[in-house]
Structure 1
Amino acid sequence: MNNFAFTNVFTLEGEHTQPLTVRAKALVFHDPASQSLLKLIERLAPSDAPILIRGETGTGKELVAQHIHRLSGRKGPFLAVNCGAINEQLAESELFGHEAGAFTGAIKQRKGWFEAAHGGTLFLDEIGDLPLCLQVKLLRVLQEKEVTRLGARQAIPVDIRLVTATNIDLEQAVQAEQFRQDLLFRINIAQLELKPLRERKGDILPLFEYFVQRYLAKVRRSDKLQISASAIQQLLTYLWPGNIRELENIAHYAVLVTEGTLIQAEHLKFNQIFKNMEYCSAQPATHTDDEINTALSPYQIIESQLKRIYASSQSSSGDLWNTLESMIIATAYSSSFSNQVKTSELLGISRNVVRTLLKRHHLLPPSIKEIAE
C-alpha cells in the first residue's frame, strides 16, 4: 500500500450511525479542493447558523454534517433524518412528536426528531423531498424555535443547530413550486459544496486504501495488498457515478478476488456503462504526471517505480544498487548546485561520505595529484 496517513478519515462507525439511504461511510480531505472545503467547515462550525450541504448521492454529506457537529461544541446529540424515507402520513409525528391518542395507533406520548436533538445538531438529508405541507411547519419551528406535538396545545422550546443536505437544485425546485422560497432562505444562510469524487481525484487513492485495509481486517487477511500502476490509472480515470459508496464496493470486491499481494486492473469491478464513457472531451485517456503527483507523494511514486523495476528483468542485471546510488548522489549534487556541504545536508550524511560517493561515481573532476599520478 502507499501508506496514506488516515488521521483525517471521517467514518460513520459509532454512536451516530443512522439508517439513511445509500451513503458514504468514509471521507478524507486529501485533495486540494477537499482541503479548501475543510477550512470552510472549520470556520462555519462554531456558529449556530443553518448550513445547506449540496452534493451528489454518496459524496459524504452526512459525514460533513457530523464533522460540523463535532467542531460546533454543542453538547447535545447528532441526529440524522432522511426526509425522503419518512412516511408522508407519519412525517409530522416523526419530526415534531405526538401526544397519546393524537391519532389511531398513537398509544403513548412520543418525542419527535427536533425534541430528541435538543442541545445538539439535527441533520435533514434530502430536504428537497420534504412535502410542502411540512415545509410550512418546519419554517415555523425554525422561526419560533419551538415545536408543538400532534395533539398538544402547548409549544416546547427547542435548541438545535440545523444542517440540511440536498442532491437537487433547490432554486429550480422553488421555480417549479416544489420547494418554498422562504424556507430556502432560512436554511441557506451558509452553503457547502461537496464535489463529486471524480472532481477530487486526490481523495480517491487514500479512500481506496482505507477501504482495502478495512475489508482485509474483516476477512482476517494478514497480508498487505499493493495497487498496480494499471489499477491506479483505472481508479483515477473512472467516472465514479456512485461516488464514495461505489468506491467502497469496488475495494471490497478487490480484496475478495485478489489472490496474490497485488491488486490489478482486472480486480476492479467497474460499472461497464460508465467505464466505457468518455470522461471528458478535453480529458486524455490516461492520467498525466501532474494528476499522479496530486494523488501520490514523491516517495510513493519512487516506491511504485522501484516495484516495477524489481518485477522486471532490469533488476537481474546485478548492477541495480550501483545505478540507484549513482542517480541519488548525482541528482542531489546537481540540486545543490555542486555544493558538497549542501548535498550532505540534503541527504543527511557527512561531507566525507558525499565526497566518497561523488568520486566513486566519477562526478568530481580529478585533482592535480591524481592527474600527475
Structure 2
Amino acid sequence: MTRTQVAIVGAGPAGLTLAHLLRRQGVEAVVLERRTRAHVESRLRAGVLEQPTVDLLRELGLAARLDAEAMTHRGVRLRFAGATHRLDLSGLTGGRAITIYGQHELVKDLIAARLADGDPILFEVDEVELSGLDADPVVRYLRHGRRRELRCSIVAGADGFRGVTRGYLPGTVFEQLQPFAWLGILARTAPSSDELVYAAHEDGFALHSMRGPALTRQYVQVPPDVDVAAWPAERIWQTLRRRLGHGDGLDLPVGPILDVTVAAMRAVVTEPMRHGRLFLLGDAAHIVPATGAKGLNLAVADAAALSYAIGAWAGGAPAELDRYSSRCLDRVWRTQRFSVWLSQLTHRLPGEDAVDRRLRETALSELVSCPHTGAAFAERYVGQPLPTPWWWNG
C-alpha cells in the first residue's frame, strides 16, 4: 500500500499534462496506465495543436522537440463549389496559428520528461477499482500479478471514453451520434499542400492533413456502418482525388497506405465532471466530433483547469475544486457547438437536396469572404485562452 496526493488514471495527453502541471506546484501525483509504454507511445490520434496548447507546453519546458520538428500552419484551406480558398488564420487572429505535431509524439515527450524527473508512471495496470470517493479515495489495481492499493486525496480520471473512471460518476451523459463517420487513411506520401485542406464536396467531406514531410493523414466521409473491406486502395485514392480537387492546384500522389481506420462522429458530455474526490478530464468526460481536431486541446484545457483547482486546494483554498466542473463545462459546450457546426457545414447530410447544398456553399462563401465571419471562425480554430490565468508564471 502506498500513498500520494493525486492518483491520475490514464497516461494520455490529459493525464500526463496534469501530472506536469501538478509537479510545477509541488503536488505529488502517481500516474497509472493500463497499456504498455510502447503501446501508449504508438497510438495514432489527431495532431493539430491550438496556440494556447503550444504556449503551455513551451511554458513548462516541454516543447523542445515540438519546436524543432513540428509544422506551423498560419492558414487553412477550404474547398467547395469546385474552388479552393485560403483563410488567413494568423492575419485574422493577431499572429496566432496552429501546429501540426502527432499526438503520439507529444505523448512520447511528456512521458520522457516525467520519467527524467524521477516521477512515477505505472504501466500495465489492470482491474482498477475506486472506493472512498466521498472523503478518502483508494485506488485498487492489479500489476505484474500482484494486488496493490494507492491511497490519495484526489483521483483524476483521464483514462478515456472506454476507461473505468467515468463509470463512477452518477451524473447525466449527453450523447449525439452524427449520421456519418470518417475513414481515416495513413499513407506514406508527401503532403500535397502546406496547410490543411477541408473539402465540402457534393459526394461528401474529405480532409487532407499531414504527420510529417513524408506522411499524410487523410479522411473521407463514409456511412456509419461502413465496411472497410469495400474500400480498397484504388477506391480510396480515387475518392480523395475527386473530393480534394486533384489537378486543380492540389497534386495528390498515390502511395502505400499504412493504416485504415473508421471513426464514429459523436458528441458526448458527462455533466458534472466531478463526483466527490473524483474529477474527470479529457475523453473520460467528453468526446467532440473530430472536425476541427479539438479533442486533444480540450483535454489540455481540462488539465490546466484541474491543476489550478488542485493547486489552490493544496494551498488552503478548496473552493476552487467546486468550481472545476462548471469552469470546464462552459468551454466543453462551446467546443461541442463549434465542432458540430463545422461538421454539418462541410459534410453531406442524409436527405439533403439541391437547396441544402446551395445554402451550405453560401455559408462557406461568407466564411472566406466576410472578414468578421472569418475572424470569428479563426479565433475558435486557433484556440481560445485556457480557462485559468497563467498562474504558473509565478
Same fold, TM exceeding 0.5? no
Structure with higher helix content = 1
Structure with higher Rg: it is: 1
Under a length normalisation based on structure 2, what TM-score does the superposition of the two structures give? 0.27
Under a length normalisation based on structure 1, what TM-score does the superposition of the two structures give? 0.28
